[in-house]
Amino acid sequence: MGKIKRKLKKIRIHREGTKQLLYGGISIMLVALILWFTIPSCKLPFWIFIAIFSIAYGIVLNFYRAPVRYFPGDDTEKIVVAPADGHVVVIEEIEENEYFHDRRLMISIFMSLWNVHANWFPVDGKVKFVKHFNGKFYKAWLPKASDENEHADTMLTTPDGRDVLCRQIAGAVARRIVTYAKEGEECYIDEHLGFIKLGSRVDVFLPIDSEVCVKMGQHTTGDHTVIAKLS
């Protein structure tokens, strides 16, 4: 069954973008019709409008892609996958005093405007809790963004009892974090944890003895790239 599922790869539009794309498409068509019929002597404004807004619509359409993905391996025990498309901007040991009160390994992935912005669960397990925090909107790649920006924290407990924190962070442009994870529910790699609109970042806090499997600046593919292995 797993092999069959992995062959069924396709691209769809994320549900967070369906209304915006529908209303935006209708608005563009209405304005285009107005320009076509109200300025019959000169079609240049119509074609300029079509060229500019077709490109803009294509960018938004690309942003709301939601590829159907399945982890390429059969064994996900102790595997930590990238929760997002993007590139690695932080790999460091930190003192985490909000939840763990000990040292943790933090791996951060920055998502640009051009990346898929769906977020996946990084590990199999159970959702321990979900918390949302209001905050500022610094550029997402800055170190202080992890603590001071608006963010949502989802604590996951693996089947062997290890806690992994996944933090969705709003950026300078992103103003909406969506989290689908619910406290008490089981979660699995291949499932969506949430979605962040526009450029943003996701931090993963792991046990200090985890094995890092990525390098700084490395590009990641959500739900495919193995970023670490739990000991």
Q: pLDDT tens, 168-204?
A: 988 665 557 889 999 999 999 999 999 887 668 899 9
| Residue-wise pLDDT tens digits, 96-106 | 999 999 999 99
Name the residues annotated as catalytic. Answer: 200
Q: Within the chain, where are the H helices?
A: 2-7, 18-38, 44-63, 145-148
The stretch 8-17 carries a mean pLDDT of 60
Q: What is the mean pLDDT of the chain?
A: 84
- Residue type present at position 59: I
Nearest partner of 228 among 106, 100, 116, 87, judged by Cα: 106
Residue listed under structure tokens 């500019």: 52
Q: What's the pLDDT band for 146 if we cut at 50, 70, 90?
A: low
Q: What's the pLDDT band for 148 if we cut at 50, 70, 90?
A: low
For the entire predicted model, the pTM comes to: 0.78
Kindly list the distances between the CA atom of residue 77 and the CA atoms of 55, 101, 209, 227, in Å, as whole numbers in the listed order: 43, 25, 16, 14
CATH architecture of 79-229: Distorted Sandwich (2.70)
Alpha-carbon Rg for the chain, nearest whole angstrom, is 20
What phi and psi values does residue 119 have, to the nearest 5 degrees? -115, 140
The stretch 137-148 carries a mean pLDDT of 62
**CA dihedral sign, ordered 80, 81, 84, 90:** positive
